[in-house]
């Protein structure tokens, strides 16, 4: 995700430029270019760039869009307009995925137009592709800094390495679930919650409940331990009831039942 530049064409409000600098730093981006800026208040830029004045002060200022993108291998213009164009139109998420998959297309320029009316037709002609942020039809136009933040965020998420899944956190496979169901069936019979003629119906309900839970491997082992202990305790109680002399023995902690 290196060599990505954010290009603001003819920005008008200093506050938006400052907020853009802050949004870029929030998402690990630093390269900001300003094309022919016509800022109403330079001090507002510094105020809104809270914590990101280094990005703002390092921003490159050029006179034309060509000067900002001449060395780029991929130029993508952000627009809310849609129409018949030969350029590919991306969503921010799909674009971020494509950017990650094509490191050879660097430098990449993401181009944003002025606040009042966005990129002109001439600006868009210089873009290889377009990106449009989905929004409600009642208010489809985003604030400039907000639009930059959306794209920078998607790039940030796309660059994050996939998290490795711990073995216990992986979803249980079918064999593990069937082992759990067998333990549950034995427990229901042992504690008297089901009889041989009713256990299929009870187990069908239990399968539906546990199936919706999408149990992890560690969770399956935990539940099998619960079932094992319940079966063992039920058997011990039955044995004690059938052998009165066992009741005269001092209470001892029952040994841990064998594992599955």
Q: Which residue has the higher pLDDT, 58 or 245?
A: 58
Whether 189 and 100 map to the same domain: the answer is: no
CATH number, position 37: 3.40.1280.10
What pLDDT, in 10s, does the model give residues 74-98? 999 999 876 555 568 999 999 999 9
Among 114, 141, 159, give the residue marking a domain's end.
159
Residue 258 included in any domain: no
Whether 67 and 154 map to the same domain: the answer is: yes
What pLDDT, in 10s, does the model give residues 102-111? 999 999 999 9
Which domain does 66 fall in, by range? 4-159
Q: Is 100 exposed, middle or buried (0-12, 13-18, 19+ CB in 10 A)?
A: middle
Among 159, 187, 209, give the residue marking a domain's end.
159
Across the strands, what pairs with 110?
Answer: 6, 76
The average confidence (pLDDT) of the chain is: 89
pLDDT value of position 81: 73
Query: What element of type H or E holds 196?
Result: none
Beta carbons within 8 Å of 215's beta carbon, 6+ residues apart: 171, 172, 177, 180, 223
Find the angle CA(60)-CA(113)-CA(129) to the nearest 5 degrees: 95
pLDDT value of position 77: 96
Residue 255 included in any domain: no
Both structure tokens of 74? 């991929």
Residue 241, preceding bond cis, omega within 30 degrees? no
pTM of the predicted structure, to 2 decimals:
0.70
Whether 31 and 95 map to the same domain: the answer is: yes
Whether 177 and 229 map to the same domain: the answer is: yes
Beta carbons within 8 Å of 142's beta carbon, 6+ residues apart: 80, 133, 135, 150
Number of structural domains, the chain?
Answer: 2
The owner of tokens 């181009």 is 111
Whether 194 and 234 map to the same domain: the answer is: yes
Instruction: Tell me the C-alpha distance between 172 and 214, whole Å.
Output: 8
What pLDDT, in 10s, does the model give residues 218-244? 999 999 999 999 999 988 888 776 655
Whether 65 and 191 map to the same domain: the answer is: no
């Amino acid at each position: 995700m290196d060599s990505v530049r954010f290009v603001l064409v003819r920005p008008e409000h200093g506050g938006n430029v400052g907020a853009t600098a802050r949004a870029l730093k929030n998402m690990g981006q630093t390269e900001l270019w300003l094309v022919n800026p016509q800022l109403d208040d330079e001090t507002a830029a510094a105020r809104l760039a809270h914590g990101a004045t280094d990005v703002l002060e390092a921003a490159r200022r050029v006179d034309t869009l060509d000067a900002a993108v001449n060395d780029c291998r991929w130029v993508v213009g952000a627009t809310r307009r849609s129409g018949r164009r030969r350029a590919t139109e991306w969503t921010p998420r799909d674009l971020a995925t494509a950017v990650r998959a094509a490191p050879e297309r660097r430098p990449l320029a993401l181009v944003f137009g002025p606040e009042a009316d966005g990129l002109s037709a001439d600006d868009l002609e210089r873009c290889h592709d377009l990106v449009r942020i989905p929004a409600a039809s009642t208010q489809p136009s985003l604030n400039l800094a907000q639009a930059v933040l959306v794209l920078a965020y998607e790039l940030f998420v796309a660059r994050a390495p996939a998290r490795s899944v711990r073995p216990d956190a992986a979803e249980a496979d079918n064999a593990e679930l069937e082992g759990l169901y067998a333990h549950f069936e034995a427990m229901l019979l042992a504690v008297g919650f089901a009889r041989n003629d009713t256990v299929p119906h009870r187990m069908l309900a239990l399968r539906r409940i546990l199936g919706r839970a999408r149990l992890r491997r560690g969770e399956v082992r935990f539940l099998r331990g619960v079932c094992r202990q319940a079966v063992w305790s039920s058997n011990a109680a039955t044995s004690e009831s059938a052998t009165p002399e066992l009741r005269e023995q001092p209470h001892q902690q029952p040994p841990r039942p064998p594992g599955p």
